[in-house]
Amino acid sequence: MLRGDRDKDTICAVSTPHGVGGISVIRVSGPRTFEIVSKLCKFLPAHPESHKVYFGNLKDGAREIDEVLVTYFQNGRSFTGEEVIEISCHGSPLICQNILNSLVQLGARPADRGEFTYRAFMNGKLDLVQAESVLALIESQSQQAAKLALRQLKGQLSSKLEEVEDDMTWILAHAEASIDFSTEGIDVVDYSVVQVRLKKIEATLKDLVGTFKVGRLLKDGFRVVLTGLPNVGKSSLLNLFLEDERAIVTDIPGTTRDVIHGDTSYEGVKFTFVDTAGLRDEATDLVERIGIQKSYEAQNESDVVFFVFDIEKGLGAEETQILESLDPQKTFILANKIDRIGGSKPLEIVEKAIKNSKFFQKIVDPQAFFTRRVFFVSALDKKVRSSVLQELVQEFADMQVENTVLISNARHYENLVRALENTQRSQTLVDQGMGSEFLALELKESLIAIHETLGKRFDDQIMDRVFKEFCIGK
Q: Which amino acid does the sequence have at 237?
A: L
Burial class (CB in 10 A: 0-12, 13-18, 19+), 458: middle
Confidence at residue 231, expressed as pLDDT on a 0 to 100 scale: 82
345 with 291, same domain?
yes
Pairing mode, strands 21-29 and 52-60: unpaired
Q: Which amino acid does the sequence have at 260?
A: I
Note whether residue 462 is domain-resident.
no
391 with 423, same domain?
no
Whether 94 shows a pLDDT value over 90: the answer reads yes
Give the domain-ending residue among 84, 104, 127.
127
Report the C-alpha gap between 181 and 187 in whole angstroms: 7
pLDDT digits (tens, 9 = 90+) for 368-422: 888 888 898 888 889 999 999 998 888 777 665 566 788 888 899 999 999 999 9
Q: Mean pLDDT across the stretch 346-353? A: 76
263 with 391, same domain?
yes
Q: What is the CATH number of the domain that holds 316?
A: 3.40.50.300
Note whether residue 156 is domain-resident.
yes
Q: What is the CATH number of the domain that holds 97?
A: 3.30.1360.120
Note whether residue 414 is domain-resident.
yes
Q: Which range is least confidently modeled, 78-87, 250-259, 411-420?
A: 250-259
Band (pLDDT 50/70/90 cuts) for residue 298 is low
Whether 265 shows a pLDDT value over 50: the answer reads yes
Q: Mean pLDDT across the stretch 85-97? A: 96
Q: What angle do CA 323, 326, 332 make, to 5 degrees?
A: 75
113 with 161, same domain?
no
Note whether residue 463 is domain-resident.
no
Report the C-alpha gap between 101 and 60 in whole angstroms: 10
270 with 380, same domain?
yes
294 with 330, same domain?
yes
pLDDT digits (tens, 9 = 90+) for 138-149: 878 777 788 888
- Domain hosting 190: range is 141-211+406-455
Note whether residue 264 is domain-resident.
yes
Q: What is the CATH number of the domain that holds 441?
A: 1.20.120.430
pLDDT digits (tens, 9 = 90+) for 166-220: 999 888 887 777 665 555 554 556 777 888 899 999 999 999 999 898 888 888 8
Q: How many domains does the chain have?
A: 3
Q: Mean pLDDT across the stretch 97-101? A: 96
pLDDT averaged over the chain?
83
Report the C-alpha gap between 404 and 242 in whole angstroms: 30
b/e string for 138-147 if b means 16 or more Cβ within 10 A? eebebebbbb
The per-residue DSSP string of 106-129 comes to TT-EEPPBTHHHHHHHHTTSS-HH
pLDDT digits (tens, 9 = 90+) for 418-469: 999 999 999 888 888 777 778 888 889 999 999 999 988 765 665 565 566 6
Report the C-alpha gap between 321 and 319 in whole angstroms: 5
Band (pLDDT 50/70/90 cuts) for residue 473 is low
The per-residue DSSP string of 221-259 comes to -EEEEEE-STTSSHHHHHHHHHTS--S---SSTT---S-
| Residue 175: count of CB within 10 angstroms of its CB | 24
| Residue 73: count of CB within 10 angstroms of its CB | 22
Note whether residue 268 is domain-resident.
yes
